[in-house]
Amino acid sequence: MCGIFGVIGETDSDELLKVSQILKHRGPDDEGFCSIPDVKHFAGSDTVKTLSLPQINGSLKGAFGYRRLSIIDLSSKSHQPMEKDGYVVVFNGEIYNFVSIREELEKLGHRFYSSGDTEVLLTSYIHWGERCVDHFNGMWSFSIWDPKRRVVFASRDRFGIKPFLYFHDDKYFAFASEQKALLKFSKVPNEPDLEDAKRYLVWGMQNFSEDCMFKGIKRLLPSHNLIFDVDTGELKTYEYWNVHPNTEKSVYDERQAKLYFEKFREIFTDAVKLRLVSDVKVGTALSGGIDSSSIVYTVGELMKTQNITSIGDVQYTFSAVYGNYKADESKWIDIVAKETGVRSLKVIPDSKGLGRDLETLAYVHDEPFDSTSTYAQYRVMKLVRESGVTVTLDGQGGDEIAGGYPLYMPIMVLENFPNKIFFSEIKNLKKANSSFGLLVRTIGTRYMNGMAQRRYFAEISKGLFNHEIKFIPYGGRSKAEFSHMNLRSWSDMREELVDLLKTADRNSMAFSIESRFPYLDYRLVEFAMSIPSAYKIHEGWTKYLSRKSFEGLINEAVLWRKDKLGFPTPQKEWFEMGFSDFAMNYISNSKFLRYLDVNVDGKFSHKLLWRLVNLAAWAKAFEN
């Protein structure tokens, strides 16, 4: 887990060192540079002293740079940029199945000099070319200099866990792990995209889009590769992986269900086991829900039969709690902690801390985000850092693949209507905690067509801006996908989940922490998306796939809890108890919001007011 950056075009040592320092939080353990296309390696002030490299100095035609957070193979043999047979790589992430890939490549005649996954990744490209990514089970963002083709080949993992931002202008190409670092390259303009700012205020985060909050900066999308030809200046991207969800109408069958549940748990257990491979200490983020609890219990089961050095004698868990607020999940966290014998560490985020950290948080994330839950996660990661743990396991993705969101229930009913077999599901929907009215609202949702989008946009923007602004479409498809639950959940993974993964990356890396996601093992996702929706929502229960798969493992009260909170904060209460006054004062002093002609004296819901104060903080953090 690290920070990567590079440029094809005129640069100098001062510029590269500035970019490297901006990314130091992503990799405090080592620093490296390599000139491109003529490959020469250099050191910076933070380079490990055991390496005998000349200090970077002067002008270069291009370069790769790297900040290292040592996780696997802590020795200098895994220093980056790494070169092999003239090929050079900078790599951020982990290839969890690197041992088996290495064994395969060794049988094919390749030899290895380090014990980590970086050399395996580079050798995989040398042997398989662009299709090397098909072999990887992991999370990644990397760039490779290919001397034979004279191209830069870059890739981002299937789900967008690790970031890749880039700027391209004619024959000039620059990339980095974060936008704030990319802005330090001389040819990259530090200029806000005003339309993207307005889009955020109306629609919220949109990390599924290539466009960013800064003009000219683009993000490489999940499951995409990039090729930049250094001679022609041509840049192209393409998708290398996708999922085709099962949309068949299916009737629940007990025997088939048993097979699904057993296989789901089998793959999940192996996914957790793979993500425990580490030469530093691993802990778990525990919210008290089924997804994070399933990880804690699974790690506990694995510890009974094997010595997991990355865990040690006791598993550490990290949680955010809120006392008497409804958002508090201490009850469930404590049940899990008591049964599994973990060392449970907790933090209590509050609105005063949020106000104090507002601009720091905006700078950490590069772009505004949708809710104060991001701040809670930020505080949890700070707690992780203070504990001495370097890697965490996290439950992101569990709701999407197993049918966990309440909205999925009426969609599942709709996809089978008017099949009489599913009339019973409608009855169960009436009985369930989610209101039957949700079905009606789903059918008539304002996001279902372009006309409804325009009405919603006009309604929001009229009270938000002092003038009428040009219509900006939502841009995605998840809010209009109601034809099938599996299609909706896959759309959510490609849009909504990408936002959550982006915030997870920035929050964890702000404290030099690596976050891993067992539910996003591509084998588990592919399998779950092949399962008919009838096995994910059944007898009025959402997330039936997970509940049944983990029977006998997770405490029954946790496993069959009916409330769905989803890592909340007491945001509404915080605003009602004084944060609204702070926010209104903050936005009234924002030059950027006034430049956008925002009605800073308007009356807003706490959700919209949060977007306004967050955007204002972002503008101030980046001096826009």
Q: What is the pLDDT of residues 538-565, one digit of tens each?
A: 998 999 999 999 999 999 999 999 887 6
Q: Which of 621, 440, 451, 429 is nearest to 539 (CA)?
A: 429
Residue 472 CA, chain-centre distance (Å), reads: 25
Q: Does 37 sit behind a cis peptide bond, omega within 30 degrees of 0 on the bond before it?
A: yes
Joined tokens for residue 516: 């891993």
Reported as type and span, the H/E element at residue 494 is helix 485-494
- The answer on 146 and 108 residing in a single domain is yes
pLDDT tens digit sequence for 17-26: 999 999 999 9
For residue 108, the model assigns a pLDDT of 97
* Residue 139 β-bridge partners: 94
Residue 422: pLDDT band (50, 70, 90) is very low
pLDDT tens digit sequence for 131-188: 999 999 999 999 999 999 999 999 999 999 999 999 999 999 999 999 999 999 999 9
CATH code for the domain in which residue 164 is found: 3.60.20.10
Q: Is 73 within a domain? A: yes
- The answer on 103 and 52 residing in a single domain is yes
- The answer on 213 and 90 residing in a single domain is yes
- The answer on 113 and 18 residing in a single domain is yes
Q: How far apart are CA 42 and CA 450, in angstroms?
A: 54
For residue 231, the model assigns a pLDDT of 96
Q: What DSSP string describes 135-196? A: G--EEEEEEEEETTTTEEEEEE-TT--S--EEEEETTEEEEESSHHHHTTSTTS---B-HHH
- The answer on 585 and 551 residing in a single domain is no
Reported as type and span, the H/E element at residue 3 is strand 2-12
Q: Which of 378, 311, 5, 339 is nearest to 183 (CA)?
A: 5
Amino acid at the residue 444 = G
Q: What is the mean pLDDT of the chain?
A: 92
pLDDT tens digit sequence for 51-108: 999 999 999 999 999 999 999 989 999 999 999 999 999 999 999 999 999 999 999 9
Q: Is 389 within a domain? A: yes
Mean pLDDT of 114-140: 97
Residue 529 CA, chain-centre distance (Å), reads: 19
Is pLDDT above 90 for 419? no
For residue 345, the model assigns a pLDDT of 98
Is pLDDT above 90 for 426? no
For residue 451, the model assigns a pLDDT of 73
- The answer on 321 and 219 residing in a single domain is no
Label the pairing between strands 224-229 and 217-219. unpaired
For residue 565, the model assigns a pLDDT of 65
Q: Is 15 within a domain? A: yes
Q: Is 362 within a domain? A: yes
pLDDT tens digit sequence for 252-284: 999 999 999 999 999 999 999 999 999 999 999
DSSP structural state of residue 579: I
Radius of gyration of the chain (CA): 24
Q: How far apart are CA 582 and CA 65, in angstroms?
A: 41
Q: How far apart are CA 258 and CA 241, in angstroms?
A: 29
- The answer on 284 and 212 residing in a single domain is no
Residue 420: pLDDT band (50, 70, 90) is very low
93: left (phi over 0), alpha (psi -120 to 50) or beta: left
For residue 421, the model assigns a pLDDT of 46
Mean pLDDT of 295-312: 96
Q: Is 88 within a domain? A: yes
Label the pairing between strands 224-229 and 514-516. unpaired
DSSP structural state of residue 287: -
Mean pLDDT of 571-598: 92
- The answer on 387 and 279 residing in a single domain is yes
For residue 438, the model assigns a pLDDT of 53
What is the end-to-end Cα distance of the chain in Å, rounded? Answer: 30
Is pLDDT above 70 for 339? yes
For residue 444, the model assigns a pLDDT of 47
CATH code for the domain in which residue 510 is found: 3.40.50.620
Q: How far apart are CA 122 and CA 505, in angstroms?
A: 23
Q: How far apart are CA 319 and CA 44, in angstroms?
A: 37
- The answer on 331 and 384 residing in a single domain is yes
Contact yes or no for 320/348 (Cβ under 8 A): yes
User: How many domains are contained in the chain?
Assistant: 3
Q: Is 447 within a domain? A: no
What is the helix, strand, coil percentage profile of the chain, to 5?
45, 20, 40
Q: Is 183 within a domain? A: yes
Q: Which of 400, 573, 353, 411 is nearest to 500 (CA)?
A: 400
Domain that holds residue 265: 254-403+484-559
For residue 323, the model assigns a pLDDT of 83
Q: Which of 156, 170, 130 is nearest to 210 (CA)?
A: 156
Contact yes or no for 415/483 (Cβ under 8 A): yes
> Which class for 109: exposed (0-12), middle (13-18), buried (19 or more C-beta within 10 A)?
exposed
The answer to which of 319-323, 466-470, 480-484, 489-493 has the lowest mean pLDDT is: 480-484
Q: How far apart are CA 585 and CA 359, in angstroms?
A: 15
Is pLDDT above 80 for 431? no
Is pLDDT above 60 for 471? yes
Mean pLDDT of 424-445: 50
Contact yes or no for 56/17 (Cβ under 8 A): yes
Contact yes or no for 48/32 (Cβ under 8 A): no
For residue 591, the model assigns a pLDDT of 94
Last residue in a domain, options 209, 239, 269? 239
**Residue located via tokens 């601009």:** 359
Last residue in a domain, options 194, 215, 239? 239
Is pLDDT above 60 for 28? yes
- The better pLDDT of the pair 542, 326 is held by 542
Label the pairing between strands 514-516 and 316-320. unpaired
- The answer on 146 and 50 residing in a single domain is yes
- The answer on 122 and 190 residing in a single domain is yes
Q: How far apart are CA 68 and CA 421, in angstroms?
A: 56
For residue 307, the model assigns a pLDDT of 93
pLDDT tens digit sequence for 292-303: 999 999 999 999
For residue 578, the model assigns a pLDDT of 87
For residue 439, the model assigns a pLDDT of 52
- The better pLDDT of the pair 315, 578 is held by 315
Q: Is 468 within a domain? A: no
- The answer on 319 and 212 residing in a single domain is no
Q: Which of 504, 501, 532, 533 is nearest to 223 (CA)?
A: 501
* Residue 283 β-bridge partners: 392
Q: Which of 273, 277, 337, 265 is nearest to 305 (CA)?
A: 273
Last residue in a domain, options 186, 205, 239? 239
